[in-house]
């Protein structure tokens, strides 16, 4: 029995020594107490640590109060973190010098930043909004995006930075149709991160990626197209058409190339169908002896001809509505513009489409 008792005493002394070494005390031990609040009142269940050490860790009570005992003297940092239910969180840190018991009653966390579901969702853009912070030491919002749910500052792409508290929305452009995007906002002060929002996501729309490819709204023509090369009198024709109310008609003195005003994002590995109708009448103009459409980007090109003439300038043709289509699969993500080309006296385009093959 005496040997067993002696063994227990020795083990107890050894464990106490190890515990004291893990806190690395200097001149003495003190308690740190305080109250954590935000603009709505006490903050309960917030994690509070000194120097992020497990033996100096606690959580706040229902009234926001906490106490951490046996803190050694010297320079330390008090860390406070409050997590929400949707991966949102707020955090603050306070440098402090400890040489006596401390009571800290001015520990104020900002209200968590809340990201709202995306709105105004289109094929290549959507609007992201979040609530305004009440942080007194606000420096900036940082908006991150990714195409998978695991999103933080290291895995996401930084797409927007705002230094105004009131600037709480951003229109994300140049997105890929049929793709789901994830977003998260981080709140910063001059010392670093103060919090992160919940994660919100939404898929972009599908359908025809050529704006008004059926040419049904003449008031939108200048919004979607411009003459890139050549010249011509362009109008919406309500008498010669494939479907709907109009087609796009060009009275061409030489030859013409139209370009879309905005680019379209194509995704690697997705299969697309490019299709449409064309019609031609009159003499061949210059070296452009077709009515067609093409899409082009950096090291990327796909063309589609509807009407093809004999190739000799001034030869006359009368080619009725002709349909054509083709399929293609980009090997990498690429931003493209759409071009329309016509090289006869009179040319028509209608029902132009660029769609993902489901």
For Cα atoms 199, 201, 202, give the angle at the middle one, nearest 5 degrees. 170
Q: Which residue has the tokens 């806190």?
A: 23
For Cα atoms 13, 19, 24, give the angle at the middle one, nearest 5 degrees. 125
Helix then strand count (H, E) for the chain reads: 2, 26
CA distance 283 to 344: 5
**pLDDT tens digits, 137-147:** 999 999 999 99
Beta carbons of 351 and 276 less than 8 angstroms apart:
yes
The predicted pLDDT at position 315 comes to 83
The predicted pLDDT at position 28 comes to 78
Q: Which of 96, 89, 129, 79 is nearest to 110 (CA)?
A: 89
- Average pLDDT of the chain is 89
| Contacts of residue 129, Cβ cutoff 8 Å, sequence gap at least 6 | 115, 116, 119, 168, 169
Which helix (H) or strand (E) segment is 244 a member of? none
Beta carbons of 271 and 239 less than 8 angstroms apart:
no
Average pLDDT over every residue of 174-196: 92
As given in the structure block, the two tokens for residue 297 are 């980007």
CA distance 36 to 46: 8
Based on C-alpha coordinates, what's the Rg of the chain? 33
Beta carbons of 113 and 141 less than 8 angstroms apart:
yes
Which helix (H) or strand (E) segment is 264 a member of? strand 264-266
Q: Which of 224, 223, 226 is nearest to 213 (CA)?
A: 224
The predicted pLDDT at position 8 comes to 37
Answer whether residue 36 shows pLDDT above 90: yes
Confidence category of residue 135, pLDDT binned at 50, 70, 90: very high
Beta carbons of 155 and 109 less than 8 angstroms apart:
no
Answer whether residue 255 shows pLDDT above 90: no
**pLDDT tens digits, 66-87:** 999 999 999 999 999 999 988 8
Answer whether residue 16 shows pLDDT above 50: no
The predicted pLDDT at position 27 comes to 57
Phi first, then psi, for residue 51 (nearest 5°) are 60, 20
Average pLDDT over every residue of 198-219: 92
Confidence category of residue 23, pLDDT binned at 50, 70, 90: very low
How many C-alpha atoms does 36 have within 13 Å on its Cβ side? 29
pTM: predicted TM-score of the whole model, two decimal places: 0.71
As given in the structure block, the two tokens for residue 235 are 């109008």
Confidence category of residue 291, pLDDT binned at 50, 70, 90: very high
Q: What structural domains does the chain harbor?
A: 22-108 (2.60.40.10), 126-203 (2.60.40.10), 218-356 (2.60.120.260)
CA distance 213 to 253: 24
Strand-strand pairing, 102-108 and 29-38 = parallel
Q: Which of 318, 301, 300, 299 is nearest to 309 (CA)?
A: 318
């Amino acid at each position: 029995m005496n040997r067993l008792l002696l063994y227990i005493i020795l083990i107890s002394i050894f464990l106490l020594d190890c515990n004291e070494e893990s806190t690395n005390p200097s001149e003495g031990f003190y308690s740190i107490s305080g109250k954590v609040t935000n603009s709505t009142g006490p903050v309960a269940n917030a994690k509070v640590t000194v120097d992020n050490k497990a033996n100096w860790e606690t959580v706040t009570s229902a009234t926001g109060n906490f106490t951490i005992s046996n803190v050694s003297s010297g320079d330390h940092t008090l860390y406070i973190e409050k997590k929400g239910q949707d991966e949102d969180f707020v955090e603050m840190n306070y440098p402090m010098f400890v040489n006596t018991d401390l009571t800290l009653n001015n520990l104020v966390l900002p209200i968590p930043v809340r990201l709202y579901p995306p709105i105004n969702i289109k094929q290549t853009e959507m609007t992201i909004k979040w609530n305004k912070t009440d942080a007194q030491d606000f420096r900036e919002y940082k908006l991150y995006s990714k195409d998978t749910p695991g999103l933080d500052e290291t895995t996401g792409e930084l797409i927007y930075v705002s230094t105004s508290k009131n600037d709480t929305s951003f229109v994300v452009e140049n997105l890929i149709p049929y793709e789901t995007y994830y977003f998260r906002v981080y709140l910063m002060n001059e010392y670093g991160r103060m919090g992160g929002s919940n994660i919100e996501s939404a898929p972009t729309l599908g359908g025809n990626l050529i704006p008004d490819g059926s040419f049904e709204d003449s008031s939108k023509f200048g919004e979607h197209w411009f003459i890139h090369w050549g010249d011509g009198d362009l109008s919406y024709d309500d008498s010669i058409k494939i479907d709907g109310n109009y087609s796009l008609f060009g009275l061409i003195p030489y030859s013409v190339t139209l370009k879309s005003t905005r680019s379209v994002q194509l995704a690697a590995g997705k299969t697309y169908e490019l299709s449409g109708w064309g019609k031609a009448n009159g003499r061949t103009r210059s070296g452009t002896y077709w009515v067609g459409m093409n899409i082009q980007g950096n090291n990327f090109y796909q063309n589609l001809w509807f009407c093809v003439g004999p190739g000799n300038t001034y030869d006359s043709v009368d080619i009725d509505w002709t349909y054509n289509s083709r399929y293609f699969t980009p090997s990498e993500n690429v931003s493209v513009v759409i071009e329309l080309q016509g090289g006869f006296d009179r040319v028509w385009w209608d029902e132009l489409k660029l769609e993902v093959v489901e």
